[in-house]
Amino acid sequence: MSFENRVAVVTGAGSGLGRGYALELARRGAKVVVNDLGGSPSGEGASASAAQIVVDTIRSAGGEAVASMDSVATREGGAAIIQTALDTWGKVDVLISNAGFLRNNRFEDLSDNEIDPIVDVHLKGAFYVGQPAYRAMRAQGYGRILFTGSSSGMFGHAWQANYAASKAGMVGLSNAVAIEGSAYGIQSNVLLPNALSRLEEVMTPGYMEIPAFAEALQATDFSFADGRMPPEFTVPLAIYLVSEACSATQGIYSSNSGRYARVRVCEAEGWVAPAGTTPPSAEDIASHFEDISELREFSLPRHNYDEFTIGAQVARKQGVHS
């Protein structure tokens, strides 16, 4: 799977998963912008050495790479990251939006200093680097974008409401980008990586104070994951998703200990209110809540308008609509 003549931008590429993505893309022939502010796992400080060390590693192996220390957390920084690729190689074919850090706390105790920087880097940062990359890709009629989500965003995690909300936003963002980009050869997907990285340094054990969460964690069978959580186990899925060989778009994919799986948001068949223009009451909802919640039958909307078509189909099935 070659990336010869492709230009890739990887944010958060100074360590962990991002470093793995950058090295593998370069090994396969891509020219790589290695972006990393060089901050701590909690987003503090900066160091030029993080990105430059990865660049030096790529160059020493015969590859091409340049370093970027610009921050994804500002529109100017995001534009500068993409401009580095355009100034150096004239195009952008691949964007892996991976930059991020953690500032965990109880939901009720999260301060603006714990909410705003997380949203700025994870969610707004995906816009700030994604928009200029998208414009360049649209002009050339080709592009692959991979946004980094998280199982915390899809399924929930205690003490990570700020992070989970930002990561859940990646799904909506990628869905919209995939739909808009389909006319211009641009594909967009979300990766939910489970890998040991330096972010584990700031995982707060305080969430064990929540009995249900603590019990679930203690009951989890981690035996399958033993030795299978280094970034190298996630890199292959990311590389495929941003390759020319991949035709998938508007997808969510999980990588966990060597298990790779598609993740979907589904919609239950639900209950349709009686025909006519009189809305149901809250009591009607309560009496049919089991039907509303039952997932025995479900659908997979491709976009929000699918809900109307699916709704009409279910209404016919339930005898409410002809």
Rounded to whole angstroms, the Cα distance separating 282 from 267 reads 21
Detail the DSSP E strand segments found in the chain: 7-11, 31-35, 64-68, 94-97, 143-148, 186-194, 251-256, 259-263, 267-268, 298-299
Query: Buried (b) or exposed (e) across 205-234, using 16+ Cβ within 10 A?
Result: eebeeeeeeeeeeeeeeeeebeeebebebb
Cα distances (angstroms) measured from residue 208 to each of 137, 186, 218: 45, 42, 10
Rounded to whole angstroms, the Cα distance separating 9 from 67 reads 10
- Angle at 101 (CA atoms; ends 100, 104), nearest 5 degrees: 140
Rounded to whole angstroms, the Cα distance separating 283 from 307 reads 24
* Edge-to-edge strand ranges of the sheet holding 94-97: 64-68, 31-35, 7-11, 94-97, 143-148, 186-194, 251-256, 259-263
Rounded to whole angstroms, the Cα distance separating 100 from 14 reads 11
Rounded to whole angstroms, the Cα distance separating 288 from 85 reads 55
Tokens of 132: 């200029």
C-beta atoms surrounding 94 within 10 Å: 28
- Catalytic, 163? Answer yes
259-263/94-97 β-pairing? unpaired
DSSP-derived letter for residue 320 is: S
| Given 21, 128, 134, 163, the catalytic residue | 163
Catalytic residues: 163
